[in-house]
């Protein structure tokens, strides 16, 4: 079922019956990916005395669960610059549009001083002059183990500061990546790529040209069967008044 889309003075066709979900769900088992030194999520029924909010318990007509999770460490999530600022900014207020022209790229990692990094040169080479609204970065080698990887204390790959700045200067508003962070796991709180992408020079006093509506989505997974190229991206979030929300980015081939 192809649909004609009018977006920013551009007309193109997408098949809305063929969505490509690139999110990693939140589960309460050991298959859940984990970052930032926390335990796996908890999903369990509410209990009041002997009453248990679970139909299979025979005590309840409904399933009635509490969920304890951290959006940054437990699955695909979308964040705004409130993630690094002294003042509060909410992803629910920052993200007001949900469809974007996006480019999916696969990038090779480079070894620099013992770290695996995504360099500016590699981003520039693969984009080859394109400047979409959103960029989706798939790191190579790609493996389905990313869906359940335990990242804490492993020094995962990250985005060079210069690469993040290049993405910003290209006019790209939304950055999606299959890593737990665009920054190095242990960087003494420098957060160089976050700051470069959002154009934040001082987390205590936000500069006027900071990018309030730009977002970063981390811990996605893009299967190898999905080809590099142009897509319509739909970023779905839960309406949390928080710096980040669990999210469900979905692609539609253009």
In this predicted model, what pLDDT tens digit does every residue of 67-111 receive, in sequence order? 999 999 999 999 999 999 999 999 999 999 999 999 999 999 999
Instruction: Give the mean model confidence (pLDDT) for residues 208-231.
Output: 97
Q: Could you tell me if residue 61 is inside a domain?
A: no
**Domain containing residue 161:** 2-29+71-253
Identify which of 60, 66, 28 has the alpha carbon closest to the alpha carbon of residue 46.
66
Instruction: Give the mean model confidence (pLDDT) for residues 177-182.
Output: 98
- For residue 9, the model assigns a pLDDT of 83
Using an 8 Å Cβ cutoff, are 245 and 233 in contact? no
Instruction: Give the mean model confidence (pLDDT) for residues 194-216.
Output: 96
* CATH number assigned to the domain comprising residue 187: 3.50.30.50
Q: Which two tokens stand for residue 86?
A: 């002294």
Number of domains, the chain: 1
Q: Could you tell me if residue 135 is inside a domain?
A: yes
Whether cis (ω within 30° of 0) applies to the bond prior to 141 is: yes
Instruction: Give the mean model confidence (pLDDT) for residues 222-233.
Output: 97
Q: What count of other Cβ atoms lies within 10 Å of the Cβ of residue 179? A: 22
Q: Could you tell me if residue 51 is inside a domain?
A: no
Using an 8 Å Cβ cutoff, are 22 and 252 in contact? no
- Residue 2 pLDDT > 90, yes or no? no
Q: Could you tell me if residue 49 is inside a domain?
A: no
Distance CA 116, CA 84 (A): 23
- For residue 165, the model assigns a pLDDT of 98
pTM summary value: 0.96
Q: Could you tell me if residue 185 is inside a domain?
A: yes
Q: Could you tell me if residue 178 is inside a domain?
A: yes
| Residue whose entry in the numeric block shows the structure tokens 């154009």 | 199
Q: Could you tell me if residue 87 is inside a domain?
A: yes
- Residue 8 pLDDT > 90, yes or no? no
Angle between helix 161-169 and helix 120-127 axes, rounded to 10 deg: 40
Looking at the chain, the whole-number percentage of residues with pLDDT higher than 70 is 100
Q: Which two tokens stand for residue 115?
A: 């770290």
Q: Could you tell me if residue 55 is inside a domain?
A: no
The strand pair at 115-118 and 99-108 is best described as: unpaired
- Residue 157 pLDDT > 90, yes or no? yes
The gap from C-alpha 155 to its chain's centroid, in whole angstroms, comes to: 18
181-198: per-residue pLDDT in tens?
999 999 999 999 999 999
Q: Which two tokens stand for residue 119?
A: 């360099």
- For residue 10, the model assigns a pLDDT of 86
């Amino acid at each position: 079922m192809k649909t004609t889309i009018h977006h920013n003075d551009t007309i193109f066709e997408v098949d809305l019956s063929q969505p490509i979900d690139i999110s990693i769900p939140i589960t309460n088992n050991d298959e859940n990916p984990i970052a930032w030194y926390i335990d796996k999520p908890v999903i369990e029924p509410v209990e009041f005395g002997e009453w248990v909010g679970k139909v299979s318990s025979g005590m309840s007509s409904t399933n009635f669960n509490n969920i304890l999770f951290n959006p940054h460490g437990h699955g695909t999530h979308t964040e705004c610059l409130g993630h690094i600022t002294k003042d509060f900014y909410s992803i629910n207020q920052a993200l007001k549009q949900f469809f974007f022209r996006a480019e999916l790229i696969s990038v090779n990692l480079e070894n620099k001083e013992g770290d695996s990094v995504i360099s500016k040169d590699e981003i520039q080479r693969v984009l080859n002059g394109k400047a979409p609204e959103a960029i989706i970065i798939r790191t190579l080698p790609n493996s389905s183990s990313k869906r359940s990887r335990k990242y804490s204390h492993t020094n995962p790959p990250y985005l060079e500061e210069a690469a993040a700045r290049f993405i910003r200067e290209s006019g790209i508003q939304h950055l999606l990546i299959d890593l737990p962070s665009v920054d190095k796991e242990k960087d003494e709180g420098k957060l160089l790529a976050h700051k470069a992408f959002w154009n934040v020079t001082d987390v205590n006093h936000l500069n006027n040209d900071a990018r309030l509506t730009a977002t970063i989505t981390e811990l996605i997974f893009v299967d190898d069967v999905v080809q590099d190229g142009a897509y319509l991206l739909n970023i779905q979030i839960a309406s949390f008044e928080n710096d980040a929300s669990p999210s469900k980015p979905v692609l539609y081939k253009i």
